[in-house]
Structure 1
Amino acid sequence: MSRSGQSHILAIGGGSFRPSRRHNQIEASALLRYGLDLTGQDRPKLGLVATAMGDAADWVLKMYGAFSGWDVEVSHLTVFPMPNVPDPRAWILEQDMIYVSGGSVANLMALWRLHGLDEAFEEAWRSGVVLSGQSAGALCWHVGGNTDSFGPELRVWAEGMALLPYSCGVHYNAEPQRRPLLQESVASGELPGGYAADEGVGLHYVGTDFIQAVSVEAGAYAYRVENEGAGRVKEFRIEPRLLTP
């Protein structure tokens, strides 16, 4: 294996960043500290990917600022108007952890596949690079979930990388369409059973096994959603481990 000796994915439902006391800035939450600790490195290399946000320069700069004072080596990968590094695959494999921001997961996957980044991320995962991300950056590693990539009305989406053979629910307690649509799509068989996360909760997988949920919000939960057959679904609440701020 590699740095951490195992293949980790940290899929975050929401809460990767918090508003900062500095004007118009953000701060990284303990969820990202948890992910960085999984690398096993004293000064991990953190790669930021904002494809789902159209590589918005202001957002990339905010993410850099969010790690101010952290003992990390931060860099980023963009594809607009062309890749910003000579060899994106090499850049991905050099990182200890990748963080993928939210935005449009449908656009993200289309561009990753166009540039061959999906294959590079899979190679990195298998070599021990920690893969992480929020919302679109959580859905992408799974079979799919539901998304507002096509408009404000959520739609079922099943075009993820499927490194994890599950569906994924994000913003589960914050957006009222999320829970019923995930349950309906699992019950109908459009999506496989899977896991969901409230705001402030991360889903930690080792290999393809769900290990635990972690949270920066008291009273927030993760969930297992299973198809019971005959068009029925069952949801089990999972108590996360509360992280120290």
Structure 2
Amino acid sequence: MKKTLFFFILASICQITFSQNNTNSKIAEQTIFVYGGNKNLKFTQYIADLTQKSNPKICFLPTASADNESNIKSWNHYCKKLGLKSYVLRVWVASNKDNKSFEDILLNMDAIVVGGGNTLNMLGIWRAQGIDTLLQKALNKGIILSGGSAGSLCWFDSGISDSRPVNLSVINGMSFLPFSHCPHYSDKRKKEIYNEQIKNKTIGAGYACDDKSGILFRNGKYIETVSLNDINHSYYVSLNKNIVQSSKLPSRILVNKDALSVKDYQTIDINKKVKEYAEINNQDSPLNAFISFRYIKANGQQSKYKALTCSFLQKSSKDAIPDIEVDVKTRDKEMNTIVNKVFIYNDLIAGVVSQMSDRDYYLWFFYKEDGKWLNAGEYLGGATKLESEITFREEVKMHLKRIKKTTPNR
């Protein structure tokens, strides 16, 4: 009986020890998210969501831009907008007993975001400071690594960079991802050089990202592509029978979680130029209000702007706006402005998407006040009509709240 009990206890101890060892030996999931251009609010939100934490610690590394204060300021702005505490690792520092070590900072983060700039200089500093080794430890620990431009190229075997004088050239990265890479693939010259280097077999097959597109990798494998609009994509670029093949990857367009559903508002397709409408002074619809507004601008009657603006803008504008003379070229631009779409939410606030020449799309808000649709401000909608619609969906509630705040009787 005693012998049986002894073997039972021994077996239990062995089982517990094996279970603990098995748990301890489990390798953390390695996650890397790269994107073609510089950092932006939506990709920062995407990275925060990847951590699956309500208040993640995300550290920004502006090494490639020499710890540029403007880049740090924009990072602080994104963190404030997302309700996150801002962490920044600067490398231009002097020894101080009150400083935390690079290891203490990086290995206690949930995610690390690397900014753009000179990739070669950044990698040189990292190696000198041992930061490259710490980033490998962070990846192995399960800390998410991310970045755009120089901040994406650094994770790959090799890729195309403008880090050297005169010409674009191939540089070697840290090989956390076993592929080549080209950020800014929407740049024609970078695309040509990258494809050419793959064709010459100077570098192997890899992934390329347009400025507003990014790729998620887990454990060295492609997971998904996300983009900010419908014209920026990511690609797998390879050589097949001496022909470079650039395969566009399916992309999910990012939309903020609190944005309107497409079912929440009315959409009216227009696609006409302002000059196709007669000159009017009518605000009984968002479209008429927009046409009236453009004609006043084209005719130089700026003093009439105030009559067409909501109380929110009236309070922030000067009492009198003088008339100005408009030259023929400016008038032609106004008259050739294309009105693309009109969005109406709750019969109270509307967005008008327009495009002047070959520029980006603009989103004009109009607010219904005393039965009239009045100008409530202009936004840069985006590079496409779809991106402009997403901007409307994401901004309309905030815009409406701000207008109502200054109009108590609403």
TM-score normalized by the length of structure 1 = 0.88
Where structure 1 has 5 or more consecutive residues not aligned to the other structure, the ranges are 18-27
In structure 2, what is the equivalent of residue 23 of structure 1?
Answer: none
How far has the Cα of 1:61 moved from its partner? 2.1
- Counterparts of residues 1-245 of structure 1 (less than 5 Å): 6-14=29-37, 16-17=39-40, 28=41, 30-82=42-94, 85-151=99-165, 153-157=167-171, 159-173=172-186, 175-230=187-242, 232-245=243-256
Distance in structure 2 (CA, Å) of the matches to 1:216 and 1:112: 31
Q: Residues 194 and 42 (structure 1 numbering): CA distance in 2 closer, same or farther, change over 3 Å? A: same
In structure 2, what is the equivalent of residue 20 of structure 1?
Answer: none
Q: Residues 208 and 150 (structure 1 numbering): CA distance in 2 closer, same or farther, change over 3 Å? A: same
Q: Residues 202 and 83 (structure 1 numbering): CA distance in 2 closer, same or farther, change over 3 Å? A: farther
Query: Which stretch shows the higher mean deviation, 189-198 or 63-72?
Result: 63-72
How far has the Cα of 1:228 moved from its partner? 2.3
In structure 1, what is the equivalent of residue 343 of structure 2?
Answer: none
How far has the Cα of 1:199 moved from its partner? 1.6
Distance in structure 1 (CA, Å) of the matches to 2:139 and 2:155: 10
Distance in structure 2 (CA, Å) of the matches to 1:162 and 1:83: 30
Query: Which stretch shows the higher mean deviation, 84-93 or 205-214?
Result: 84-93
Decide whether the 8 Å contact of 2:210 with 2:232 is kept in 1: yes
Aligned length: 229
Distance in structure 2 (CA, Å) of the matches to 1:244 and 1:110: 37
How far has the Cα of 1:72 moved from its partner? 1.9
How far has the Cα of 1:161 moved from its partner? 0.4
How far has the Cα of 1:229 moved from its partner? 4.9
Decide whether the 8 Å contact of 1:105 with 1:136 is kept in 2: yes
Q: Residues 83 and 190 (structure 1 numbering): CA distance in 2 closer, same or farther, change over 3 Å? A: farther
How far has the Cα of 1:152 moved from its partner? 5.1
Highest Rg: 1 or 2? 2
SS in 1 for 2:92: coil
Distance in structure 2 (CA, Å) of the matches to 1:133 and 1:83: 27
Q: Residues 222 and 138 (structure 1 numbering): CA distance in 2 closer, same or farther, change over 3 Å? A: same
How far has the Cα of 1:180 moved from its partner? 1.1
Q: Higher helix proportion, which one?
A: 2
Residue identity opposite 1:236 in structure 2? S
Decide whether the 8 Å contact of 1:77 with 1:83 is kept in 2: no
Residue identity opposite 1:240 in structure 2? S
Distance in structure 1 (CA, Å) of the matches to 2:95 and 2:176: 24
How far has the Cα of 1:48 moved from its partner? 0.6
Decide whether the 8 Å contact of 2:226 with 2:252 is kept in 1: yes
Deviations 1:10-53 (A, max 9, x none): 11102532xxxxxxxxxx2x122111111111100010100000
Decide whether the 8 Å contact of 1:197 with 1:223 is kept in 2: yes
Deviations 1:199-239 (A, max 9, x none): 21011100100111101122221100112254x32211112
TM-score normalized by the length of structure 2 = 0.53
Decide whether the 8 Å contact of 2:44 with 2:78 is kept in 1: no
How far has the Cα of 1:57 moved from its partner? 2.2
Query: Which stretch shows the higher mean deviation, 65-74 or 108-117?
Result: 65-74
Distance in structure 1 (CA, Å) of the matches to 2:70 and 2:253: 31
Where structure 2 has 5 or more consecutive residues not aligned to the other structure, the ranges are 1-22, 257-410
Q: Which runs of 4+ in 1 moved over 2 A?
A: 81-86, 227-230
Distance in structure 1 (CA, Å) of the matches to 2:87 and 2:131: 16
SS in 2 for 1:179: helix
Decide whether the 8 Å contact of 2:38 with 2:115 is kept in 1: no
Decide whether the 8 Å contact of 1:187 with 1:229 is kept in 2: no
Query: Which stretch shows the higher mean deviation, 148-157 or 116-125?
Result: 148-157
Distance in structure 1 (CA, Å) of the matches to 2:237 and 2:89: 34
SS in 2 for 1:94: coil
Distance in structure 1 (CA, Å) of the matches to 2:70 and 2:231: 32
Distance in structure 2 (CA, Å) of the matches to 1:39 and 1:216: 20
